[in-house]
Structure 1
Amino acid sequence: MIPSDVLLVALLGFVVVTALATAAARTLLATLVAFAAYSLGLAMVWVFFRAPDVALTEAAVGAGVTTALFLLVVRRATDPETGRLPEAPAERMRPASFAVAGLVTVGLLLTVPALPAVGAADSPAFGAVTEFYLADTVDRGIDNAVTAVLVVYRGFDTFGEIAVVFAAAVAVLAVLGRETVV
């Protein structure tokens, strides 16, 4: 194994361990810490795959904002007199849930050998469609190819992403208690 393969296996192992720790944690605080570590592990995986924009988003949103919001919710849900969270009914994990999660994981892992190598020149990302996007971007008079793809070719998808960000902003304001009713 080359060192980059060892690093990838270690990162993926870390992600799996933190995911299991998140699912198996007994306290809410332990769950939040494990979830934040999981998000940071995923961010490191994205850095390994040379996707720094996705890595920064995962680190900021997954580990940063989401963890902060969860902590705010925990703080608001804590009883001021006792300083404790309300007791939740104890639930056990169902074996069927583990079986379904295991089957999905195995199914996804079976597709990994079909993926092209990272940065391979013969991967679909470097095919004829790339040349079309670059040429069409110039024909449309757009200077930035990434902007052209986001606006022209993925406009509806980008609109959906904007709607999700808006809904998240509204949820943050609601959690912080700063929503206004008109």
Structure 2
Amino acid sequence: MSALAYTLAIFILLTAIATALFRDVLSTIVVFGAYSLGMAILYTFLLAPDVAMTEAAISAGVTTILLLLTIARTTRPSTDRIFERVNVPAVVVVGAFVMVLGTLVLPEMYAVGDQTAPIWGWPALDISPSVYYIENTVADTHAHNAVSAVLASYRGFDTFGEAVVIFAAAIAVLIVLKREVFT
């Protein structure tokens, strides 16, 4: 990995820790927005521009704006402390989990662009996933649009889960905003 990737990883880690430790809600939202932008840059670095655009638009953009609107319509308790006290046992458990995850996952990860990674070809089909989807969309799903077929048929449960999360978030925002309007 390059120095840029390490710098980005450190930035993301520091903003995640700051988000968890800041006591002031406004500071937490701003740092969380920076964390989301860092993640969007990381996804771009990992050659996932679609995920990067979604992270930048939804998490860094819309979520940050909704959180700022929510605290603008609610009262903020004043606090003298900048940071929350650190729960040492929780830090130890999370640290141990990260170490175990790192030792198990990192050796198994392929480098970005590695041609031997499984995604570059399906040995059983002897073609890449994108070629398979393009050639078999109509036969498998009876949909004439490949993007709609992938979202609705091949990734149906995932798309349904995303729709449920967006619906629940929209209802929560409406409840918060409506409660402030009528009280």
Indicate whether 1:86 and 2:77 are aligned. yes
Q: By how many angstroms is 1:16 displaced?
A: 0.7
Q: Give the aligned residue type for 1:154.
A: R
Q: Give the aligned residue type for 1:14.
A: F
Q: Distance in 1 between matches of 2:27 and 2:99?
A: 28
Q: Distance in 1 between matches of 2:8 and 2:108?
A: 21
Please give the per-residue CA displacement for 1:70-115, whole angstroms capped at 9, x wherever unaligned.
Answer: 222222222xxxxxx2357x86321111011112221222211211
Aligned length: 169
2:116 match: secondary structure: coil
Q: 2:107 aligns with which of 97, 109, 113?
A: 113
Gaps of 5+ in 2: none
Residue in 2 aligned with 1:81? none
Q: Distance in 1 between matches of 2:64 and 2:106?
A: 30
Residue in 1 aligned with 2:136? 136
2:2 match: secondary structure: helix
Residue in 2 aligned with 1:99? 92
Superposition TM-score, scaled by structure 2 size? 0.79
Q: Give the aligned residue type for 1:86.
A: P
2:113 match: secondary structure: coil
Q: Distance in 1 between matches of 2:157 and 2:26?
A: 38
Residue in 1 aligned with 2:67? 70
Query: Pairwise CA RMSD of aligned residues?
Result: 2.5
Q: Give the aligned residue type for 2:27.
A: A
Gaps of 5+ in 1: 79-84
Identity of aligned residues (%): 48
Q: Distance in 2 between matches of 1:95 and 1:125?
A: 40
Q: By how many angstroms is 1:15 displaced?
A: 0.3
Indicate whether 1:154 and 2:145 are aligned. no
Q: Distance in 2 between matches of 1:133 and 1:52?
A: 20
Superposition TM-score, scaled by structure 1 size? 0.80
Mark the CA change 1:75 to 1:42 in structure 2 (over 3 Å): closer, same or farther.
Answer: same
Higher relative contact order (CA 8 A, sep 6+): 2
Contact map agreement 1:77 1:86 (CA 8 A) in 2: no
Residue in 2 aligned with 1:51? 48
Q: Give the aligned residue type for 1:96.
A: P
**Which range is displaced more, 23-32 or 123-132?**
123-132
Contact map agreement 1:72 1:175 (CA 8 A) in 2: no
Residue in 2 aligned with 1:166? 167
Q: By how many angstroms is 1:176 displaced?
A: 2.6
Q: Distance in 2 between matches of 1:144 and 1:48?
A: 29
